[in-house]
Amino acid sequence: MKKQRTTLVLLSLVLFLFIFAQHASANDLIIVVSPSTQQGSQKWFDFLKANDVPITIIAPHEFENIKLEKYIVIMGSMDEQEDVKILLKKALNSEEINWISQKGNGNMYSKSNKWSEGQNVIVFAGSSQRITEAVRKANRDEWFEKFTDWFDIETAGGFKEY
């Protein structure tokens, strides 16, 4: 009886560790946004989830804890709170910062190996939140193609709209 119980406990522990290891090794798309941008981007987050893109949303002040993750999206504008601007300055070079700081300007930037080897970072940035959102929408085909590649998502039947 004691041997059966020990075997059962060991099997349960092995199963738990197997499930945990699979979960811990899964790479989510980490999306770094301010609370105001997050609130205005809920349809986009729902779209990503509906198309099987695994996402985790964090605030800019949490960035240092995840900056080595494999897949990161930073979404912000120069008219937001200071921690967003600081993060944009870490992610972009001075020429890119100068560009997005000019009224009406924005862009999508793709960075490889920014903070770690094999890392992919996309930055949606603009002079204002409105411009940043417009940049994200205008570049949908490009970022969605990257996401489908990164997360091995089938799009043969098209993808769900938002």
Give residue-wise pLDDT tens across range 32-63: 999 989 999 999 999 999 999 999 999 999 99
In a domain, residue 17? The reply is no
User: Over the chain, what is the mean pLDDT?
Assistant: 86
User: With bands split at pLDDT 50, 70 and 90, how would you rate the model's confidence at 19?
Assistant: very low
In a domain, residue 83? The reply is yes
Q: Domain range holding 45?
A: 25-150
> What domain count does the chain have?
1
User: With bands split at pLDDT 50, 70 and 90, how would you rate the model's confidence at 159?
Assistant: low
Predicted local confidence at residue 24, as pLDDT: 34
Predicted local confidence at residue 69, as pLDDT: 96
In a domain, residue 120? The reply is yes
Predicted local confidence at residue 108, as pLDDT: 98
Q: What is the 3-state secondary structure (H, E, C) of the chain?
A: CHHHHHHHHHHHHHHHHHHHHHHHHCCCEEEECCHHHHHHCHHHHHHHHHCCCCEEEECHHHHHHCCCCCEEEEEEECCCCHHHHHHHHHHCCHHHHHHHHCCCCEEEEEEECCCCCCCEEEEEEECCHHHHHHHHHHCHHHHHHHHHHHCCCCCCCCCCCC
Predicted local confidence at residue 98, as pLDDT: 97
In a domain, residue 156? The reply is no
CATH number of the domain to which 136 belongs: 3.30.379.10
